[in-house]
Amino acid sequence: MAAPRAAFAALLLLAACQPAAHAATEAAVHAPAATITAQESPGLKQAVFAGGCFWGVEAVFSHVKGVTSAVSGYHGGPATSAHYDDVSSGRTGHAESVAVTYDPAQVRYDDLLRIFFSVVADPTQRDSQGPDVGSQYRSALIPTNPEQARVAAAYLAQLSTSGLWHAKIATRIEPYRQFYPAEAYHQDFMARHPTHPYIAYWDAPKVAALKALFPTRYKPDFTRN
């Protein structure tokens, strides 16, 4: 069974997160610092972010100082459909998501929100990000504790009056249910496949924007899982 499974995984990689030839690359936006900052207790924390294809979300957070882990996966649907081929149908309730473990002594939750909306996700796109369309590519914040929920709501309200975007903010705050790690071949994808066409066209510019906009937050080494 190993060979058929490997072949199937290779076919999925060819089908996944493909660059649209007619689409323009996504522009970075220097989102404002949060007026309501996270008051977090010492110790590692975890937050979940959904912002389109999880390869790029994982890649950006894997280059942020204070992030100790960024795991691609699925959130929002049942365990029975937490598989790439099912989630890709857009009918499972899952969003491609990334579970980010971080040290708030080095980077607070509100710092992660600012990075997310600056270089990862366009908060005005509903059920899509860049070339990827479907509810599985929705933009969502999934807090895992009340403090994250408080800060996320305040920051979305702040963004809605910031004037940076002309369209309404569509990013949702979703209650945490259960995060399911994605298949092994999706993990550390940019680090393992830096020349993949989707990575080169869509995600490498996001990491470059992170370095340019937040040089003190950027770390050159990719945090592997």
Which residues are catalytic, by number?
53
State the pairing for strand pair 95-102/45-51. Answer: antiparallel
End-to-end CA distance of the chain: 26
The structure tokens listed for 94 are 């899952």
Helix (H, G, I), strand (E, B) or coil at 180: strand
Task: Tell me phi and psi for residue 63, to 5 degrees.
Answer: -110, 15
The structure tokens listed for 198 are 């989707």
For the chain, give the longest Cα–Cα distance: 54
Give dist(CA 223, CA 115) in Å, integer. 16
CA 217 to chain centre: 17
Neighbours of 1 (CB within 10 A): 5
The structure tokens listed for 209 are 């924007």
DSSP assignment of 114-143: HHIIIII--TT-SSEETTEESGGG-EEEE-
Could you tell me where the beta strands, DSSP code E, fall in 44-190? 45-51, 67-75, 95-102, 128-129, 132-133, 139-142, 172-173, 179-181
CA 26 to chain centre: 14
